[in-house]
Amino acid sequence: RQGGLLVNFHPSILTCLLPQLTSPRLAVRKRTIIALGHLVMSCGNMVFVDLIEHLLTELSKNDSMSTTRTTYIQCIAAISRQAGHRIGEYLEKIIPLVVKFCNVDDDELREYCIQAFESFVRRCPKEVYPHVSTIINICLKYLTYDPNYNYDDEDEDENAMDADGGDDDDQG
């Protein structure tokens, strides 16, 4: 609401918020993402560039920690939802990173990546257009995937049902 009045404080606000993205507490990370989403609506271009560059740098080097990867992807999606018109010029760098994380065996991370894609398509349709076919292929691939279904045990379950099925005819 009062973002324009606090322009002088935006660099210090960003400096205080960025370390909170790696907090061990989930609630702190979520609130930080919300705060950064509000900040990008009124911050100057330098603060916005610093934020995006920080997120890109961290995502580029972050290969192991699942929680921080997820947080950074969520943050980029939140920024896109709040200030999509500003993030469009960075999509050429962002989308390949998000695509890379879709291939990681982490259902939650994959879900956040798809939510980020949705935000990019809604808020930056012109800039995301060259990547739409890749996004559609990823969505189609995981649309048919149910993380609650155990695909490996399909044959074992059928054999178990056959063994139990014969007993029902004898009763009654």
pLDDT tens, position by position, 79-125? 999 998 899 999 999 999 999 998 888 888 899 999 999 999 999 99
Beta carbons within 8 Å of 102's beta carbon, 6+ residues apart = 110, 113, 114, 138, 142
| Residue 126, pLDDT above cutoff 80 | yes
Produce one character per residue of 129-146: b if its CB has 16 or more CB atoms within 10 Å, e if not.
eebeebbeebeeebeeee
Cβ(100)–Cβ(110) under 8 Å? no
CATH of domain 3-164: 1.25.10.10
Give domain limits for the chain: 3-164
Distance CA 36, CA 26 (A): 15
Least confident of 8-17, 30-39, 153-162: 153-162
Question: Could you give the C-alpha distances from 5 to 19, 39, 80, 82, in angstroms and in order?
Answer: 24, 12, 23, 19
| Residue 152, pLDDT above cutoff 80 | no
Distance CA 109, CA 97 (A): 12
Give 160's pLDDT tier (boundaries 50, 70, 90).
low
Please give the model's pTM, rounded to 2 decimal places. Answer: 0.79
